[in-house]
Structure 1
Amino acid sequence: MGAWLSNISLKYKFWAVNAVAFVTTLFLVLYAVFLEQQARVDEAHDRAVAEARLL
């Protein structure tokens, strides 16, 4: 694999590194959005339960 990597043009290595960085960042952002949405759902559920207890 080392010989194969050394034969690739620097331009393609640059694009490959950028693609990996982009995909990694995209997954991290999507995970953060999922966590935020889950926290809001949990908070709304807790609020609804507390309000139902008052009634």
Structure 2
Amino acid sequence: MISNEQRAHDIAIALLQANGKDRKPIEAYHEYINTLLPILKEIDKDFPNGIKEHI
């Protein structure tokens, strides 16, 4: 099972890469956190027990 945190991380990274901006490390970290937290809150609300993967 993939944790909600891992799924939110993957989505946040994909969104940041899609923007393709050159950022300084601290700026990139702040943007990552500001992207990650709302996604994680939504996933936790929708899937409080995580999401099971079908392999």
TM-score of Structure 1 vs Structure 2, range by shorter chain: 0.3 to 0.5
Q: Which is helix-richer, 1 or 2?
A: 1
**Greater relative contact order: 1 or 2 (C-alpha under 8 angstroms, separation 6 or more)?**
2
Q: TM-score, length-normalised on structure 1?
A: 0.40
Q: TM-score, length-normalised on structure 2?
A: 0.40
Rg (Cα) greater in structure: 1
